[in-house]
Amino acid sequence: MKTYIIFTFLLFTLMTCKNKTATTMPLETSSTKTKAKAIIDLSHAYSDKTIYWVTAKEFKLDTVFKGQTDKGFYYAANNFSTAEHGGTHIDAPIHFAKNAQTVDEIPLEKLIGPAIKIDITSKCSTNPDYLVSIDDFKDWENAHNTTIPSGSIVLLETGFSKYYPDKVKYLGTDERGDHAVKLLHFPGLSPEAAKWLVEHRNINSIGIDTPSIDYGQSEYFQSHVALLEQNIPAFENLTNLDKLPSNGFEIIALPMKIEGGSGAPLRIVAIVYDK
């Protein structure tokens, strides 16, 4: 009976949340010892405003049918098309490493589990070309009196999500095409810090609230190469990282399972627990 009441409550909550653009949803679970506090949506929605790499094909939604059928029931269906790398998405290891895992081959253990957040918003607020450094990770470790736990999902909060989907502020340009690549300005992870993470820590995956794990001015994408060569996937264009604590939460990051894909649209959520 108790289960039934909880289920009914959840169902009611889901129904009442249906038309809101809520990013968080309260969750009560009796199956875990710890009470879940909230589920936070870290994905942007896909639409004609979705931000893509300046050379990538953008999201397109075509209505197949929408309305009342002649048989009396309502029916809606669409077709969509998109590049793999746009909006909130995952980079599979094969994106920058020959013969590495494709998106359908990434073990779920890399995508679901405990996470930490590195907050570099203040440094990025004055420098759109900021590179997250080894010291930024060491500062987190000193503040928490621990090394980055083995098996962590590491999220980098630059604060740039607040500019999304304003292309000039978020990407540095609203131009598109090959010539626009050199106009990109947004923070990313320095190659030195990427190599340090790979060589000295044991992380499962990494994410950032900018279009790329390498910064906008990158030419050789060395952070991508360092991470993806080691089968560490990268989540890009995340949002709502400001709603997360610096540790003690979990991530569920489930990309579309494209066979042979180098990346894919990603639905990613955080579960934040009461302490």
Where does residue 230 fall: left (phi above 0), alpha (psi -120 to 50 degrees), or beta otherwise? alpha
For the CB of residue 55, give the shortest distance to Zn ion in the complex, in Å: 12
Of the pair 90, 272, the CB lying nearest Zn ion is at 90
Q: If DSSP states are collapsed to H, E and C, what string results for 200-266?
A: HCCEEEEEECCCCCCCCCCCCCHHHHHHHCCCCCEEECCCCHHHCCCCCEEEEEEECCCCCCCEEEE
The full DSSP string for 116-160 is EEEE-HHHHHS-TT-EE-HHHHHHHHHHHTSPPPTTEEEEEE-SG
Q: Is 209 in the site for Zn ion (CB under 5 A)?
A: no
The contacts of residue 213 (CB under 8 Å, 6+ apart) are 91, 188, 189, 194, 206, 223, 224, 227, 234, 236
Of the pair 56, 112, the CB lying nearest Zn ion is at 56
Q: Which residue type does 206 have? A: I
Of the pair 39, 180, the CB lying nearest Zn ion is at 180
Piece of the chain touching Zn ion by CB under 5 A; list 82-90, 96-104, 159-167, 175-183: 82-90
For the CB of residue 105, give the shortest distance to Zn ion in the complex, in Å: 16
Closest-CA residue to 93 (of 238, 208, 213, 268) = 213
Could you tell me the two tokens for 112? 């679901």
For the CB of residue 85, give the shortest distance to Zn ion in the complex, in Å: 4
Q: Which residues, 89 to 128, sit near Zn ion by CB under 5 A?
A: 91
Piece of the chain touching Zn ion by CB under 5 A; list 6-14, 61-69, 70-78, 88-96: 88-96
Piece of the chain touching Zn ion by CB under 5 A; list 84-92, 111-119, 133-141, 185-193: 84-92
For the CB of residue 118, give the shortest distance to Zn ion in the complex, in Å: 20
Piece of the chain touching Zn ion by CB under 5 A; list 8-16, 83-91, 99-107, 143-151: 83-91
Among 41, 82, 85, 100, binds Zn ion (CB under 5 A): 85
Find the residue with minimal CB distance to Zn ion.
Answer: 85
Could you tell me the two tokens for 141? 């470790």
Residues that bind Zn ion (CB under 5 A): 85, 91, 263
